[in-house]
A and B are shown apart, each in its own frame.
Chain A
Amino acid sequence: MNASASRLSLWLLLTPFLLWIVLLVLVPHLQMLRVSFQVRESWDTLAWGLEQYQNFFSESYYWRTFVRTGVMSLFTTFLTLLIAFPIAWYIARLARGRSKGILFLACLIPFWASELVRTYGWMILLRESGLFSSWLQALGWVDGPVEMLYNDVAVIIGLVYNGLLFMVVPLVTTLDGMDENLVEAGYDLGGGHATVLREVVIPWAMPGIVSGCIVVFMLTLGSYLTPILMGGKDSAWFTEQIFTQFITRFNWEQGAALGVLLLVLSSLMVWLGLKLTGQSLRKVMG
């Protein structure tokens, strides 16, 4: 094939995708950015201005919710890592042959249920008239029904549950490629469990850890269903505010600004995380 024919077929292959991305991703995002810099002066006149962004910083409700969402997402990510690491270690290093494949598959299957279905499953378990409450009563540990839903702990349980798979998979992938001799050499040189974990295993698994953490963090920060369905009256999530501004209040300018802020601040936090751990995005995401 000559060069120009090959150019042509490349363009033919790529055109539908490029059109789609430009028209339905690039244009709408630029439009959102534009709207976020507008201020409504009266019902039909708009002016340019930074008022929507100033609102975010001056009205404590906005940035407090953002900080809360960010802190809870960080905590969720850390907890997910703690829970997922031993599982990944077991699947990658201890399990042999068939059981390895089965354990890995068993980890994936629950995630074929949608987030809505999974969250609903937890609601059945945790609510006041739910299973956990009636089991606790049957055991005689509590006197009346206990409400375990609609609080921050419930939200975190739901979020960790949703993120687990996205942490286990990259961890298994990196741990799988680790040489057994590395660990043994660590012990031979006189390291204890903690030292080997800190000096050998964690540095090796770092790309997997960082990639899992980024995905779980972004998923958690941007999640909508779980915090709304499992959270209480006063546990606001930032995505909920975007919904409120856009749909309930019909204040598009403010909603767009909050959307832009979510995008920018979350990217900034991921970038900061990469810098702090000394990883690059290309290395981490392959």
Chain B
Amino acid sequence: MNRWLPRTYLTLVYLLLYVPIVVLVVFSFNESRTGYEWGGLSLRWYEALFNNRAMVQAMWNSLWLALSAATVSTLIGALTALALHRYRFRGKKVLNGMLFIVMMSPEIVLAISLLALFLLVGLQLGYVSLLLAHVTFCLPFVVITVMARLSGFDERLPEAARDLGASDFTMTRTVLIPVIMPALLAGWLLGFTLSLDDVVVSTFVSGPSYEILPLRIYSMVRVGLKPEVNALGTLLLVFSLVMLILSQWILLRSKR
């Protein structure tokens, strides 16, 4: 078979995968306001962002929301994954199917059903409603991720610890938690990213009292293209990548 044909194709597709992102990052450092001319290197759009008090507040709100949503969904998700991993019980298949359905069903359907619920019970739209909604859509992903990591876990380890005289508490602290830590970290990281990036569900369940970053970006993009959005997008991207690298680094260190 021709050797250069597959390579050319692959190069082309990978190029197209990266062009939109690279262009976004490069133009975030562009002095000029236009999206096609290079006006020299500049940090003016970043400066503009950090001088905008509402924007900085939205950033903190988003980070705090993602942190709490990831933590809550990892706590609940870890318990669920342990149950699904360890026990055989009636209804296990139903539960697995349910996870799958929640994961696959369109976000907007979840969004409207949650909005209707929150308004019905009289919950004010803000941090709490956002947290409840974000944990809901993160949960299945976290459970699946943790479960996938747990499948390689040797069930004889906790038993060996018990046989050696460890109490349940000691066993959990010294055997179980260190072993499932990488799984929890992977789940947490996924939850964090999902929450930080969400627009659709947040559009429905957020209120004016708690502004978050993706919604601000979305409203800016809707009215027209602004150079500040390049800087914001770059920040979000860098943040996700730093989290990814950090988690990989922790995983590598824990393996030694």
Report A's interface with B, CB cutoff 8 A: 6, 10, 12-14, 16-17, 20-21, 24-25, 27-29, 31-32, 35, 83, 86-87, 90, 94, 103, 106-107, 109-110, 112-125, 127, 129-131, 133-134, 161, 164, 214-215, 218, 221-222, 224-225, 229, 239, 242-243, 246-247, 252, 255-256, 259, 262-263, 266, 285
Contacts and interface: CB of A to CB of B under 8 A. Distances in A.
Given A87-B13, A116-B217, A218-B106, A124 B6 contact: no
Given A25-B102, A116-B221, 9 more contacts: A25-B110, A86-B9, A103-B10, A120-B24, A123-B225, A131-B23, A222-B107, A252-B116, A256-B116
A164 B116 contact: no
A45 B23 CA distance: 55
Contacts of B27: 124
B197 A16 contact: no
Nearest to A106: B14
Interface residues of B, number: 71
Interface of A is mostly: helix
Contact of A117 (B21, B75, B102): B21
Nearest to B99: A21
B109 interface: yes
The 4 A-B residue pairs whose C-beta atoms are closest, nearest first, are A222-B106, A121-B20, A114-B197, A28-B113
Contact of A255 (B16, B112, B200): B112
A224 to B, nearest CB: 5
Contacts of A225: 199-200, 218
Given A20-B135, A124-B24, A243-B108, A117 B237 contact: yes
B21 A10 contact: no
16 contacts: A13-B80, A16-B75, A16-B79, A31-B117, A86-B6, A87-B10, A87-B13, A112-B237, A112-B241, A114-B236, A127-B35, A161-B20, A229-B221, A256-B116, A259-B113, A263-B106
Contacts, number: 198
Interface in B100-120: 100, 102, 104-110, 112-117, 120
B108 A242 contact: yes
A20 to B, nearest CB: 6
A243 B36 CA distance: 34
Nearest to B105: A263
B132 interface: yes
B20 A218 contact: no
Interface string B1-37: 0000010011001101111110110010000001111
B136 A20 contact: yes
A113 B240 contact: yes
Interface in B63-122: 75-77, 79-80, 82-83, 87, 89, 98, 100, 102, 104-110, 112-117, 120
A67 to B, nearest CB: 17
Contacts of A164: 17
A236 B171 CA distance: 57
A256 B133 CA distance: 18
B24 A110 contact: no
A65 to B, nearest CB: 14
A121 B23 contact: yes
A116 B234 CA distance: 12
B83 A14 contact: yes
Contact of A122 (B20, B109, B143, B229): B20
B236 A242 contact: no
B83 A285 contact: no
A117 B77 CA distance: 28
Interface string B231-256: 00100110011001000000000000
B200 A134 contact: no
A221 to B, nearest CB: 7
A129 B224 CA distance: 12
A10 B86 CA distance: 9
A116 B139 contact: no
B204 interface: yes
Contact of A130 (B10, B36, B240): B36
Given A32-B112, A224-B108, A121 B197 contact: no
A103 B229 CA distance: 29
Contact of B112 (A113, A123, A242): A242
Nearest to A21: B98
Given A131-B23, A131-B36, A266-B106, A112 B240 contact: yes
Contact of A229 (B9, B109, B222): B222
A214 B105 CA distance: 11
B22 to A, nearest CB: 8
A243 B203 CA distance: 10
Interface in B146-190: none
Given A124-B23, A124-B225, A114 B204 contact: no
